[in-house]
């Protein structure tokens, strides 16, 4: 009988990998009284770092506009390094597409709100995300998170 080893799942580190803020039409746009439109895009990516060690990153892009002029654009990528060993191959995708992003996302949410507030705007609080649903949609579209 094969020697079954216990699954290992450990967070090694969570960190802000990238962040940028643009206000190309300031200060004139700040004098506008109209409410801006807000477009938020999210993405998840995973990549192997070493045997059983993976980086999982969640990216948010927040673009606000009044008419066709940008008020501000924030792009941030929050990442985590996870040790994942002895997990069946068919469970590796869901762990990295659902479990890891759920751990990383609150840090991203906080960092985006902080960046926007420090830029002089009311903070943008990203809504809670159902990563299970997002993962299932990616699977149906054939764009499942691939890990080598």
Residue 9 C-alpha from the chain's centroid: 20
- Amino acid 33: pLDDT: 86
Verdict on whether the full-model pTM lies above 0.85 = yes
* Token pair listed for 83: 């040790």
d(CA 128, CA 116): 18
- Amino acid 145: pLDDT: 56
Residues 18-119: name the CATH superfamily. SecB-like (3.10.420.10)
- Bridge partners for 42 per DSSP: 60
Q: Where are the domains of the chain?
A: 18-119
- Amino acid 122: pLDDT: 87
110 contacts 10 by C-beta, under 8 angstroms: no
Give the residue ranges of the chain where pLDDT is below 70.
1-4, 143-148
- Residue 2 CB partners (closer than 8 Å, separation 6+): none
């Amino acid at each position: 009988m094969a020697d079954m080893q216990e699954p290992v799942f450990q967070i090694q580190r969570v960190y802000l990998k990238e962040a940028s803020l643009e206000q190309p039409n300031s200060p004139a746009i700040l004098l506008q009284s109209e409410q801006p439109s807000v477009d938020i895009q999210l993405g998840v990516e995973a990549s192997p770092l070493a045997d059983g060690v993976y980086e999982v990153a969640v990216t948010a892009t927040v673009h606000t506009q009044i008419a066709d002029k940008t008020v501000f654009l924030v792009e941030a990528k929050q990442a985590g390094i996870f040790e994942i060993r002895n997990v069946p191959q068919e469970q590796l995708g869901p762990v990295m597409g659902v479990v890891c992003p759920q751990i990383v996302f609150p840090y991203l949410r906080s960092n985006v709100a902080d960046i926007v507030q420090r830029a002089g705007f009311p903070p943008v609080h990203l809504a809670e995300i159902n990563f299970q649903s997002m993962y299932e949609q990616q699977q149906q579209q054939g764009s499942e998170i691939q890990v080598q």
